[in-house]
Chain A
Amino acid sequence: MGKVTFRIWRGDKSGGDFKDYQAEISEGMVVLDAVHQIQATQAPDLACRWNCKAGKCGSCSAEVNGKPRLMCMTRMDTLPHDQPVMIQPMKAFPIIRDLVTDVSWNYRVNKLIPPFKPRPPDAPDGTWRMGQEEVDRIQEFRKCIECFLCQNVCHVLREHHRFGQTDEKGQLTSGQGPSEAELFGGPRFMIRVASLEMHPLDTVNRLPLLQKELNIGLCNITKCCTEVCPEHIHITDNGIIPLKERVVDEFYDPLMWAVRKVGEALGVRRRKSLPMVNP
């Protein structure tokens, strides 16, 4: 099918530039195949992360012709061949080398989220009962492969750099005020919190976390994250918006506050589910 030029960003944190390579294209080929071909024949030190090559591990995230994609799921026949295919690393994260970025910040955010804690078992044998309809909605969130493309395009992170700061104990925290010290958890971790908050068995209240530490209020629902999700998770509609509603109910609605207090006095359990937009 002929040769195509690939214009790949090469460099490290001190700087770099695009470099052109040629690769032979065959039927059904994806961008990652071309990167491998270039590695094997022309640039053995071309750095690139990958694992499964089947869209299941979320390692090979990059920007192809300016669009955040998994390289293993971007078929060459969806790209024009008469002009160079531009490949560059994700822009929101610090560069390590070439196409590899430092995504460790995401792992630190994840650690801020209090773990799952189930209600006491439903049956004497220590097991629980849940209906399929109850778990359907969070199964959608649990499809996430942690490619961090949603974090990469989230403008709160990409343009406004709300990566928080690290305290003296090495813990990630949110600084005060409208500054870059403020932390925004990003779509990936909103979805992760949603998968816990809407888990039928979970008992932990993470609304204070969403409001204070992860600053869910900073999201203004531009839905860029949903657009790039390779798993087609309805990040905004099914995850972030319902969470925002819960936060508003919890912290800003005086009527809800009163209802909740009365409820608590009467021993009513907090509701853990909300209607969902049909996927």
Chain B
Amino acid sequence: MNIQTYEHDVIVVGAGGAGLRAAIEASAAGVSVGLVCKSLLGKAHTVMAEGGIAAALANVDERDNWKVHFADTMRGGQYVNNWRMAQIHAQEAPDRVRELEAWGAVFDRTPDGRILQRNFGGHRYPRLAHVGDRTGLEMIRTLQDHGIHQGIAVYMECTIISLLKDGERVVGALGYYRENGRFVVFHAKAVVLATGGVGKAYKITSNSWEYTGDGHALAYHAGAELQDMEFVQFHPTGMVWPPSVRGILVTEGVRGEGGILLNSEGRRFMFDDIPENYRNQTAKNEEEGFRYCLGDKNANRPPELLTRDHVARCIRREVKEGRGSPHGGVYLDVSWMTKPGAFSKFKDPEFVRSRIKDPVEHIKKKLPSMYHQFKELGGLDITKEPMEVGPTTHYIMGGIRVDPDTQMSRVPGLFACGECACGINGANRLGGNSLSDLLVFGKRAGEFAAKYAKEHSAGRINPQQVEEEMRAALAFLDSPLGQENPFQVQYDLQNVMQDLVGIVRTEAEMVKALERIQELKERAKRSFAPGNREYNPGWHTCLDLRNLLTVSEAITRAAIERRESRGAQFREDYPEKKAEYGNRNTIVSKGPNGEMQFRWEPIPEMPAELKRIIEEMK
């Protein structure tokens, strides 16, 4: 086998927040670590995260603690979360945030000089440590600049196409360098997947080209299980106009800072539909909601800060019933606070005025990236005009089923963390819980992968497997049958998922989607990339398509089986939440003949202590 091979104890695939954190931790444990990333270092999707990192530091509201954070996460996830992961996450997030500060991160400050925290959907207290609206950039840069001094070998612009196995165990990975198309083998005792999400399966998405479900698909083919794949988060506020920016994220921080949602009639429709289990925590009127945004501890949050699944559905309803904006969204408005007399309708306008001296400057300071994004891409000044927004595919709660403490999948030596792993979020993720998830479980995955590597010798790589995978990958470049344009196949898949397995789902449509996916699989096999192996995006798309098709099928199969509406899954044919689905997770895995298998996994009984916490916080 004449192919470049690198030996490491631990290989981490993906260099966003989770991958970097895993690599740092594994390296600190004294093992040799290779970090493989599809793009340049520091460009991963974590840079797009805007709002903040959720952690119960209790810097802004001393009533906050891990128990409240745990209860919020479970409520947001509609109780199908892995409760152990939700617990670990809530308990360990504060330390992970403080650690970032010790590594040089510069968060916004409270008046007494501590890390400032902001309000976000579904979080009872201000909990998100943040840096304006570019928290993800701060996090990835901090991890990157810390990580490069930890002796980690970084392999940039290198895409993993297959995991290599020795019997049951994962012992390495095969990839190619984008630059020259040459293959490379990473021989490792443990592999950590931290590849992020699947957003590119949908037409309207906030995700970049990298988000093609690589980790999900790699793990699936290596024998791991995928859990809760039906739960795809549609972020309620993506840009809708102009067409070229459709889907780009508008941070929830806009609503956290007092942005309101309006329909074409100027009605603040979020007050019209407040779910029962959130009624006690939601503001009774506009003034109370805004006071909450300004830090009044006696006020409840505005309905715009209900969970993302609910807000996204409300927006869709307004649009469908003819009360949408001209380009098929609704209005998100922060400019209301800059209008003359904006606060005079309140009973206590002085409270607001004492906190916002200059509304225009206030918006620019709190939401600098949003101000620029709309100014430069939308030609709109958010301090003067409302934005047009609509739901966009943002995140997948489902992913590789892992042990909650160690993050190891059922395949020995294969670990997963971050978005590609499953458990903490249940049926819906709260904003801000992703960045903390990356840190908490990235660290754990790194720690336990290093431990596993120390306890095991290197396995044997099967050259035949490598040969087969390479041959299959190269077939797209010189296949005599090749005629399909991979970009077109991807585009068609995105339309299928958007139209048939989107925010509102029915059995009939999803069955149709499965048929279409099978057809697309055949077309994908015949896709052809002219040109050579050097930095050839057509070829890369052919390879990524295989993963996209696998995860699309997994999403669809799981969504069909969950015949109820819960969190991010809304079934028009089963619009109610059903108790019998509240204690189990969907699982898909690869069957003996290569077919996708489905089964239910019961959720283990929650310890009495955690049950009590949930009851107390209701």
**Residue ranges of A at the interface with B (Cβ–Cβ < 8 Å):** 12, 26-30, 33, 39-41, 44-59, 73, 75, 96-98, 100, 102-104, 107, 110-111, 115-116, 118, 126-132, 134-135, 138-139, 142-146, 192, 196, 199, 201-202
Contacts and interface: CB of A to CB of B under 8 A. Distances in A.
B535 A98 contact: yes
Contacts of A52: 43, 45, 47-48, 208
29 contacts: A26-B243, A28-B242, A28-B243, A28-B377, A29-B243, A41-B487, A44-B485, A45-B532, A47-B537, A51-B45, A51-B47, A52-B45, A53-B248, A54-B245, A54-B248, A54-B249, A55-B372, A56-B134, A57-B39, A57-B47, A57-B48, A96-B179, A96-B534, A97-B534, A111-B149, A134-B109, A142-B137, A145-B47, A199-B106
A41 B541 CA distance: 13
Given A28-B245, A110-B145, A116 B103 contact: yes
Interface in B120-168: 131-132, 134, 137-138, 141, 145-146, 148-149, 156
A107 B485 contact: no
A133 B561 CA distance: 54
A135 B108 CA distance: 8
Nearest to B249: A54
Interface in B527-544: 529-532, 534-539, 541
Interface of B: 39-45, 47-48, 98, 101-104, 106, 108-109, 112-116, 131-132, 134, 137-138, 141, 145-146, 148-149, 156, 179, 208-210, 241-245, 248-249, 369, 372-373, 376-379, 485-488, 491, 529-532, 534-539, 541
B529 A116 contact: no
A45 B39 CA distance: 17
Given A28-B377, A39-B487, A56-B134, 14 more contacts: A40-B487, A45-B539, A47-B535, A51-B209, A53-B245, A73-B376, A97-B535, A110-B145, A111-B149, A115-B145, A129-B113, A131-B113, A139-B132, A146-B43
A57 B372 CA distance: 14
Counting chain B CB atoms within 10 Å of each CB, the highest count among A132, A196, A199, A202 belongs to A132
Given A56-B134, A96-B179, A127-B98, A33 B43 contact: no
Contacts of A30: 244-245, 377
Nearest to A59: B43
A49 B40 contact: yes
B6 to A, nearest CB: 16
Nearest to A146: B42
Counting chain B CB atoms within 10 Å of each CB, the highest count among A12, A27, A47, A110 belongs to A47
Given A129-B113, A142-B141, A100 B535 contact: yes
A126 B98 contact: yes
B106 A59 contact: no
Nearest to A123: B114
B146 A143 contact: no
B577 to A, nearest CB: 35
Given A56-B369, A59-B39, A44 B537 contact: yes
A50 B209 contact: yes
Nearest to A135: B106
Contacts of B249: 54
A129 B114 contact: yes
Contact of A45 (B137, B141, B530): B530
A197 to B, nearest CB: 12
Contacts of B132: 139
B538 A39 contact: yes
Nearest to A115: B149
Closest 5 CB pairs of A and B: A28-B242, A44-B538, A45-B531, A129-B113, A116-B104
Contacts of A54: 48, 245, 248-249, 373, 377
Contacts of A103: 40
A27 B377 contact: no
Contacts of A12: 534
Nearest to B106: A135
Contact of A199 (B40, B48, B104, B134): B104
A28 B244 contact: yes
Contacts of B535: 47, 96-98, 100
Contacts of A126: 98
A117 to B, nearest CB: 9
A143 B385 CA distance: 26
Contacts of B369: 56
Contacts of A73: 376-377
A159 B35 CA distance: 34
A102 B101 CA distance: 32
B109 A28 contact: no
B390 to A, nearest CB: 15
A42 to B, nearest CB: 10
Counting chain A CB atoms within 10 Å of each CB, the highest count among B103, B145, B244, B541 belongs to B244
Contacts of A57: 39, 43, 47-48, 208
Contact of B242 (A27, A48, A110): A27
Contact of B137 (A53, A145, A196): A145
A278 B379 CA distance: 26
B134 to A, nearest CB: 7
Nearest to A111: B148
B104 A51 contact: no
Given A49-B40, A52-B48, A116-B104, A29 B244 contact: yes
Nearest to A104: B156
